[in-house]
Amino acid sequence: MNVNELTAKTIEATKDKKKSQDSVLSWVKFILLIIGLFLVFRYAIGITVISGNSMAPTLGNKDIIVTNNVFFTPDIDDIVQFRDVHGFDAIKRIIALPNDTVEIVDGVVYVNGDKVKEVYSTGFPNDMELVKVAENSYFVMGDNRTPGESLDSRNSEFGFLPKERIKGELVFSLYPLGFK
């Protein structure tokens, strides 16, 4: 074997080794990408299928929504995803903040004595005596205000929604497509 043949074989072996290293590196990058996407969808972004009509007409049964689970501060009119009293994920609208007062008179919701402008709701809710929202909690309601359609803060079993149970806020609907 002469020097040229030996050099050619060495170059070929080096190329094969480089291809093998590139292949391993590609797989490592792919696995890291999958892990990264899993973490984003597990902790930062939520995709949820709506079950029921408590948020109609805003959100309907089997609508698919995306929630932001990291960078948000709950506020009036936000639609939030949370763990309910039975351990299931639920979606409701924030009506009142901590220390606000809420009452319903003749089907009209009042927060701190002011009538709430509700262009998004449907149905006629039952009256409710004045309540003061607890510290670090929120008063939430479904947009479907028809009695019996939404288990929400009007119900004594449900009560106020503690801040620590809120998982995220609605960003947009995937199906049907729409933005908040």
Q: Which of 19, 20, 92, 115 is catalytic?
A: 92
- Rg of the Cα atoms in the chain: 27
Q: What is the Cα 175 distance to its own chain's centre?
A: 14
For the cut 70, the answer to whether the pLDDT of residue 27 exceeds it is yes
Averaged pLDDT, 6-30 = 76
- Please indicate whether residue 29 is annotated as part of the active site: no
For the cut 80, the answer to whether the pLDDT of residue 65 exceeds it is yes
Stated as kind and residue range, the H or E segment containing 72 is: none
Q: How far is CA 53 from CA 15, 17, 30, 127, in A?
A: 62, 60, 40, 21
Q: What is the pLDDT of residues 162-176, one digit of tens each?
A: 999 999 999 999 988
- Please indicate whether residue 9 is annotated as part of the active site: no
Averaged pLDDT, 43-55 = 93
Q: Which of 9, 18, 26, 54 is catalytic?
A: 54
Q: What share of the chain is helix, strand, coil (3-state, %, to 5)?
A: 25, 35, 40
Helix residue spans in the chain (DSSP H): 3-39
Q: Which CATH superfamily is domain 50-179 in?
A: Umud Fragment, subunit A (2.10.109.10)
Using pLDDT thresholds of 50, 70 and 90, give the confidence band for residue 40: confident
Q: What is the Cα 88 distance to its own chain's centre?
A: 13
Q: What pLDDT is stored for residue 22 in this prediction?
A: 80
The closest of 137, 122, 49 to 85, measured between CA atoms, is: 137
**Higher pLDDT among residues 178 and 3, named by residue:** 178
Give residue limits of the domains in the chain.
1-45, 50-179
